[in-house]
Amino acid sequence: MTDLSGLSNAHLILLAAHLCATGDVSALPYLQAKLHSILEPDVFFRILLTFLPESTDPARYISILQNLADEPVPEPTNPDVDISSINELSEKAARKAVRKLRLLPLKCPKQQHDDTASTLVQFLIHRAHRIDAESGLQPFILELVKPFLHTSNALRTWFISTVLPLLRFNYEYHPENGGPLSLEIVENLDSSSAVNILLSQSEQNQREDLARDLRGLVGPWMYGYARSKRRKLSPPDERDAASVPADDNELTAVGLDGWQDVNEWLLSTSMKDFSLAVEAVQQWSGPSDLDLGGYEDPQEPIASDADAELLLRYGQAALATVYATDGTGQEILDGSCNILSKIATLLESEIPSTLHIHNKILPSLELSLKPLSDICRTSILHNSLLDPSNPLTLPSPQSIPFLDAILISVRILNGFNHSISCRTATDICLLGNEKTQYLELRSVLENIRQGVKAVRDWREVRSQLLWLRNWGHPHDNADSDKHRDGHGPFWRVPLDSLEQEILKAMLAARQYGLAGELYAGPSSISSLSPEQVKDAVTESILASYDNATNGNKTRGGIKRASETLDAFSPQFPTSVQFCQLRALISATHAMSFYSLTLQHGVPFQPVSIRVHHDPLSLIEKILEQNPKAYTQLDDLLSIAHDLVAAGFPAFVEEESTSFPHENPLSQDDQYSIANRRIISLAISSALEADDFGTAYSYILTRLTPPSILSAPQPPTSPVKDTISWRAAYTAGRYRSSTPHPQATLQSQITHLEQRMELLSLSLVLCPTPDPLPEILAAWRRCDEELSALCAQESAEAEKWDLRGDSQHQSLPGAFGAPDSEADALETERERAKRSRAAAAAATAAGRRGGYDDEAPMGLFEVARGAARAISKNAFPLGGGAGVGRGAGGGNSTAAGPSSASSGTDGFDDESSENGGAGRVRKRDMVSNMVTGGLASGIGWVLGAQPVNANN
State phi, psi for 189 to the nearest 5 degrees: -70, 145
103-126 per-position pLDDT tens digit: 888 888 876 655 567 888 999 999
Q: Are residues 223 and 330 in the same domain?
A: no
DSSP three-state, residue 603: strand
DSSP 147: G
Residue ending a domain, choose from 236, 255, 277 = 236
Please report the DSSP string for 336-372 in residue order.
Answer: HHHHHHHHHHHTTTTS-----TT-SSPP------HHH
DSSP string, 38-102: TS-HHHHHHHHHHHS-TTS-GGGTHHHHHHHHSPPPPP-PPP----HHHHT--HHHHHHHHHT--
Strand locations in 399-467 (E): none
Please give the Cα distance from 843 to 50 (Å, whole number). Answer: 151
Residue 398 contacts residue 369 (beta carbons within 8 Å)? yes
pLDDT higher than 90, residue 60: no
Cα separation, 246 vs 225, in Å, equals: 18
Whether the pLDDT of residue 775 is over 70: the answer is: yes
Contact 684, 728 (CB under 8 A): no
Note whether residue 31 is domain-resident: yes
Q: What is the pLDDT of residues 785-829, one digit of tens each?
A: 888 888 888 888 778 777 766 655 555 655 555 667 767 777 877
509 shares a domain with 364: yes
Amino acid at 516: G
- Asked whether residue 535 falls in the same domain as residue 449, the answer is yes
Beta bridge partners, 597, equal 603
CA 408 to chain centroid: 26
User: Using CA atoms, how far apart are residues 643 and 470, in angstroms rounded to an integer?
Assistant: 45
| Overall average pLDDT of the 128-132 stretch | 92
**What's the 3-state SS for 754-789?**
HHHHHHHHHHHHCCCCCCHHHHHHHHHHHHHHHHHH
DSSP 831-851: HHHHHHHHHHHHHHHHHHHHH
Burial class (CB in 10 A: 0-12, 13-18, 19+), 427: middle
* Burial of 658: CB neighbours in 10 Å, binned 0-12, 13-18, 19+: exposed
Residues 222 and 321 both lie in one domain:
no
d(CA 495, CA 465): 11
Least confident residue range of 194-203, 249-258, 619-628, 884-893 = 884-893
pLDDT at 252 over 70: no
Q: Based on the fold, state whether residues 514 and 415 are members of the same structural domain.
A: yes
Q: Is residue 494 part of a domain?
A: yes
How many angstroms separate the CA atoms of 317 and 512, rounded?
A: 49
Q: Could you tell me which of 904, 896, 894, 899 has the C-alpha nearest to residue 933?
A: 904
Last residue of a domain, one of 568, 594, 617: 568
Tally Cβ neighbours within 10 Å of residue 391: 18
Nearest to 129, CA basis, from 148, 152, 106, 147: 106
Per-residue pLDDT band at 678 (split at 50, 70, 90): very high
Angle subtended at Cα 662 by Cα 660 and Cα 663, rounded to the nearest 5 degrees? 120
Q: How far apart are CA 177 and CA 195, in angstroms?
A: 17
Residue 896: pLDDT above 50? no
If asked whether residues 226 and 313 sit together in one domain, one would say: no
Peptide bond into 876 cis (omega under 30): yes
One-letter amino acid identity for 870?
Answer: I
Asked, for residue 662, whether it belongs to a domain, the answer is no
Q: Based on the structure, what is the number of domains in the chain?
A: 3
Rounded Cα distance, 592 and 553, in Å: 9
Q: Read off the pLDDT of residues 425-434 as tens digits, 9 standing for 90 and up.
A: 999 999 999 9
Helix, strand, or coil (residue 597): strand
pTM of the full structure: 0.72
- For 516, 517, 525, the CA distances from 522, given in Å and listed in that order, are 9, 7, 9
Quote the DSSP letter at residue 455. Answer: P
Q: How confident is the model at residue 78 (pLDDT cuts 50, 70, 90)?
A: low
Q: Report, as an integer, the average pLDDT of 835-853.
A: 51
Whether 542 and 396 map to the same domain: the answer is yes
| Residue among 125, 92, 132, 95 at smallest CA distance from 109 | 125
Helix or strand holding residue 746 (H, E) = helix 745-765
Contact 398, 391 (CB under 8 A): yes
Non-local (6+) Cβ contacts of 917 within 8 A are: 876
- pLDDT band, residue 242 (cuts 50/70/90): very low
Instruction: Fill in the DSSP letter of residue 741.
Output: T
Residues near 832 by beta carbon (within 8 Å), at least 6 away in sequence: none
What pLDDT, in 10s, does the model give residues 299-312? 554 456 778 889 99
What's the pLDDT at 253?
52
- Give per-residue pLDDT as tens, 402-451: 999 999 999 999 999 999 999 999 999 999 999 999 999 999 998 988 87
* Percent of the chain residues topping a pLDDT of 90: 39
Residues 459 and 558 in one domain: yes
Q: Which residues are 603's β-sheet partners?
A: 597
pLDDT confidence tier of residue 919, bands split at 50, 70 and 90: very low
Tell the burial category of 115 from Cβ atoms under 10 Å away from its Cβ (0-12, 13-18, 19+). Answer: exposed
Q: How far apart are CA 244 and CA 307, in angstroms?
A: 13
User: Under DSSP, is residue 74 helix (H, G, I), strand (E, B) or coil?
Assistant: coil
Per-residue model confidence (pLDDT) at position 586: 96
- Is 422 within 8 Å of 410 (Cβ atoms)? yes
Q: How far apart are CA 409 and CA 406, in angstroms?
A: 5
| Residue 721: predicted pLDDT | 82
Residues 6 or more apart whose CB falls under 8 angstroms from that of 443 comprise: 418
Q: In this structure, is residue 291 part of a structural domain?
A: no
| Residue at 645 is within a domain | no
Q: Is-contact 380 423, C-beta < 8 A? A: yes
pLDDT surpassing 90 at residue 567: yes
Q: Is 478 a residue whose pLDDT tops 70? A: no
749 falls within a domain:
no
- CA dist list (Å): 434 to 39, 428, 438, 463: 87, 10, 6, 21
Contact 646, 587 (CB under 8 A): yes
For 214-229, letters b (16+ CB in 10 Å) and e give bbbbbbbbbbbbbbbb
- Cβ proximity of 220 and 293 under 8 Å: yes
CA distance 318 to 332: 14
Helices (H) and strands (E) in the chain, counts: 43, 0
Q: Tell me what pLDDT residue 300 has.
A: 52
Which of residues 541, 568, 595 is at a domain's end?
568
Q: Are residues 220 and 351 in the same domain?
A: no
Range of the domain at 29: 9-236
For residues 319 and 190, membership in a common domain is answered with no
Angle at 607 between CA 601 and CA 611, to 5 degrees: 90
Residue 209 domain-assigned?
A: yes
819 in a domain, yes or no? no
Neighbours of 395 (CB within 10 A): 23
The amino acid occupying position 143 is E
Q: Quick one: pLDDT band at residue 536, thresholds 50, 70, 90?
A: very high
